[in-house]
Structure 1
Amino acid sequence: MNSPLSLYLSFVLTSIRNEDASNFRNCITINPGVNEGSLRSSFPEPSEFDLYPLPEKFRPIIKNYLKLMKSIYILNDIDSSLNDLNEMVNNLNRAADTQTNWINPALINASTELINVYQVKQKSNPDVEQQQEDDGTTASTSSSSSSLEKLATTINNSFKLSLNDKNLDLKLSKRTDIYFFLGNLIKIYFKLGKLELAKSVEKALKGTRFDLPPLDNPIPSKKKHSVTYLYYSAMLSLDDSNFVDTESKLVTAMNLLSYYREPKFITKHMEMILMILIPLRLYNNSLLPTQSTWEKFPNLKFVYKDCLFKAIIKGDLKSFEKCQSRFQVLFLKRHLYLLVENLKNLCYLQLVKKVARIFSQLSDDKASTHIVPLSAFQVGLEVSTNWKRDQNNSYVAIDPSQPYSQHLDEIECILANLIFEGKIKGYISHGNKCIVLSKTNAFPTQVVRL
């Protein structure tokens, strides 16, 4: 009579011979069902004779797997479970090197479980995890860093295995699932604070001579992998101040999300994407979200509409800088700080418009209202930067006897940047200390709602 171990190994062998992805995945999952999991954990350690019928490269996988099940179901040891599962995935990578992409589902499932076990381990050490979340770095001496680096090495091996598959038929190539490994790998590198490594793997992807799968794969789960990759790839572009590419990637990710029918999944990921995309579209195209978007995402409304954008539209530099300081940690964590700093130019632009309009209304020479002295902007900038309120909540007038905080040369630089960016049409007359605005369309940039 065959023992339970013999029956299990026979099932494994049949799955491999038939290249049955679903059954093989179930053979090496840590969640085969409570009863089956308990049964497998009770198997004796297989001998070389027991494993001999299996292909040579698959023997270490099964040996590791049965050891892993004991760590989970009998020892209940999270550290041993993580190490055993990591070793199993590494052995799975070695076996997959000689296989077509029939093995991908098992490799993806094992990698997903490896990431999940790591996350469970992190919950048992929340202080270290919190440090990583807040400042984006990880102390090299911490155990969590060591575990995460091992995880990165393992997922990187899976990524290279997929990328270097030389099978020209994409339908049979392991490259079909490359965005799963790439997205998770870049995500881990972000958590480790190793952005140069994240850039290097993306560069390797772009440098391959083999065909890659489309990002809008018809299979929903693969679209999810594409969204993860696009999100982190967009943040790499954001760090390089490549705002056009960043927007393109995030818009593509938003379109892929429309295929999902899981409200919680969509809302969570859409908010993460919109956290970057909303200020990006304002900077790139002067576009603001609709009221319905603000209502759907109150956190974004609080940060942007009620604070940052309100200051920009009013040309209120003091409020802008206060908001920038208030949400500094959030902006740094989401790699938004450089973008927000660039949005300051829009705040300057709104202030310049306001000053030009006031000067035009007060000027006696209506034919020359397009020629505005730099001193007018100097006063406007002083008011916007250093305004105060008295006890009656009224604005306190700026004392003209006090020196201004901004020199005229700085005013020229601000205006010159806005002209260079195409936000103002006109030219600066340094000798006459004024700006000559276009009579027809001095301010072509208009903020509009989507």
Structure 2
Amino acid sequence: MTFMTLAHYLQIIDRSWRAQDGSKIASFISLRHEHAKYQNYHVESPEGLVERFLISPIDDLVVLHLKCLYYIAVGDFLEAYRQQSTLVQNFSKILQLQKEENWSLPIMYTICSDLRLVAQQAEKQKIGPNENPGEILEKAAECLMGCFRVCAADNRSAEEDTKRIGMLALVNQLFKVYFRINKLHLCKPLIRAIESSPFKECFSLSQQVTYRYFVGRKAMYDSNYKAADEYLTYAFENCHKSSRKNKRLILIYLVPVKMLLGYIPSKKVLEKYDVVQFWDLVQAVCQGNLKRFDELMDMHETFFIKCGIYLIVDKLKIIAYRNLFRKVYLILNTHQIPVEALQSALEYLGQDVDLDETQCIVANLIYEGKIKGYISHQHRKVVVSKQNPFPALTTLS
């Protein structure tokens, strides 16, 4: 964009509003558009100039946008958030009054996304003992919900007319907030609303990828690994091939989910998307090397905690147990394995366990279908099936 005066900027918005060009207006009231960096747009009190060029209600939105730019420029993100929050609330009322129209949805997408980003910066800047972590983001989510309710309440059935086609974009913004403030229970009614929407297949592919990424992560935290696999796999396979950063992000959650379901990722895939933190772990799991597994969990603890997957990855230890016990079975070459032999193998690899704890580990493996057999407590032996006692794990290419 070539530099333009503020007056010229306002004239463009005026023409775009009268032409109901929501996409153009959206770009010109975006905090990420090129005009946002120009100093002459950073006006603390732009009301007089704006009123000369713009009619109601767009004049009010632009005033708030320019004020937000000003406060960002001076480094006051708390005040910038207040201006952007008021902008979104005022737009929500405008959207509600547009009974038979949805041309302004692109504006909603932009200002709601900007609100979340400004709220994140305001969270970092807020001070005072009475401020609760996540409070600003939670208030921002309330503003986003205002727009969501307006869209959800539109009962028109034609895709080109209804505001309900804007629901998924708002849900994705709300997901980003709820995951950041760790209030995943608030996602449930939003998921229900999208899954029951008659426009479920009409949302853009990029929005569906984002939606399934977050729903997959929530399913993973809920220990619903099959659903997590389904959603995250869809997100990974449909994420644009040039979006390597996003594909890597999806893979960080998909890899442990796949492994918990018995699939082993290949080194090629992990290297391609730069998640090599998993490769040594994969080898330790496949080898049943519990000592190495514990060392790697300590080594990559910061990475796993930052990604929110430490507890999920730690559950992979159960597969390492399975692979270790399979080695014991192959060495002894018997279908009646003494529990003491399994305990000895665990102790050799640095696990401080007694016989009862060893039997609990075996019982868990049998329950999860990773070992086919039963425990004879009377004889202190694990009796495994003569046919495929350790169901094979699958390698992903």
TM over 0.5: yes
Q: TM-score range by the shorter chain?
A: 0.7 to 0.9
In structure 1, C-alpha distance between the alignment counterparts of 2:28 and 2:201, rounded to whole Å: 30
Give the secondary structure class of the aligned counterpart of 1:385.
Answer: coil
Q: Is the 8 A contact 2:370 2:391 kept in 1?
A: yes
Give the secondary structure class of the aligned counterpart of 2:316.
Answer: helix
Residue 349 of structure 2 is aligned to residue 374 of structure 1? no
Residue 230 of structure 2 is aligned to residue 243 of structure 1? no
Residues 262-281 of structure 1: pairs in structure 2 closer than 5 A: 263=242, 266-281=243-258
In structure 1, C-alpha distance between the alignment counterparts of 2:129 and 2:394, rounded to whole Å: 46
**Unmatched tracts of structure 1, length 5 or more:** 129-137, 361-368, 387-404
Deviations 1:112-139 (A, max 9, x none): 333344455567x5xx8xxxxxxxxx99
In structure 1, C-alpha distance between the alignment counterparts of 2:14 and 2:342, rounded to whole Å: 79
2:332 paired residue number: 359
1:274 shift after superposition = 0.8
Q: 1:377 corresponds to which letter in structure 2?
A: L
Residues 98-247 of structure 1: pairs in structure 2 closer than 5 A: 98-99=97-98, 100-118=101-119, 125=125, 141-142=130-131, 145-206=134-195, 208=196, 210-214=197-201, 217=203, 222-247=204-229
Q: Is the 8 A contact 1:230 1:249 kept in 2?
A: yes
In structure 2, C-alpha distance between the alignment counterparts of 1:334 and 1:356, rounded to whole Å: 36
1:399 paired residue number: none
Q: Is the 8 A contact 2:10 2:54 kept in 1?
A: no
Q: Is the 8 A contact 2:6 2:41 kept in 1?
A: no
Pick aligned residue for 1:289 from 262, 265, 272: 265
In structure 1, C-alpha distance between the alignment counterparts of 2:30 and 2:117, rounded to whole Å: 12
In structure 2, C-alpha distance between the alignment counterparts of 1:352 and 1:297, rounded to whole Å: 32
In structure 2, C-alpha distance between the alignment counterparts of 1:441 and 1:26, rounded to whole Å: 61
Deviating more after overlay: 15-24 vs 270-279:
15-24
1:60 paired residue number: 60
In structure 1, C-alpha distance between the alignment counterparts of 2:298 and 2:60, rounded to whole Å: 54
2:348 paired residue number: 383
1:273 shift after superposition = 0.9
Give the secondary structure class of the aligned counterpart of 2:389.
Answer: coil
In structure 2, C-alpha distance between the alignment counterparts of 1:66 and 1:439, rounded to whole Å: 75
TM-score by length of 1: 0.75
Deviating more after overlay: 331-340 vs 349-358:
331-340
Q: 1:316 corresponds to which letter in structure 2?
A: N
CA, structure 1 residues 350+61, in 2 after alignment: closer, same or farther (shift >3 Å)?
Answer: same
1:426 shift after superposition = 2.1
In structure 1, C-alpha distance between the alignment counterparts of 2:336 and 2:255, rounded to whole Å: 35
1:433 paired residue number: 380
Instruction: Tell me how large the CA RMSD over aligned residues is.
Output: 3.5
Give the secondary structure class of the aligned counterpart of 2:237.
Answer: helix
Give the secondary structure class of the aligned counterpart of 1:233.
Answer: helix
Query: Which one has a bigger Cα radius of gyration?
Result: 1
In structure 2, C-alpha distance between the alignment counterparts of 1:437 and 1:44, rounded to whole Å: 78
Q: 2:296 corresponds to which letter in structure 1?
A: C
Q: 2:21 corresponds to which letter in structure 1?
A: D
1:64 shift after superposition = 2.9
Give the secondary structure class of the aligned counterpart of 1:288.
Answer: strand
In structure 1, C-alpha distance between the alignment counterparts of 2:219 and 2:161, rounded to whole Å: 32
Deviating more after overlay: 274-283 vs 169-178:
169-178
In structure 2, C-alpha distance between the alignment counterparts of 1:169 and 1:377, rounded to whole Å: 64
TM-score by length of 2: 0.84
1:97 shift after superposition = 1.4
Q: Is the 8 A contact 1:312 1:346 kept in 2?
A: yes
1:182 shift after superposition = 0.9
In structure 1, C-alpha distance between the alignment counterparts of 2:382 and 2:51, rounded to whole Å: 89
1:90 shift after superposition = 1.4
CA, structure 1 residues 13+277, in 2 after alignment: closer, same or farther (shift >3 Å)?
Answer: same
In structure 1, C-alpha distance between the alignment counterparts of 2:221 and 2:322, rounded to whole Å: 24
Give the secondary structure class of the aligned counterpart of 1:436.
Answer: strand
1:442 paired residue number: 389
1:13 shift after superposition = 5.6
1:38 paired residue number: 40
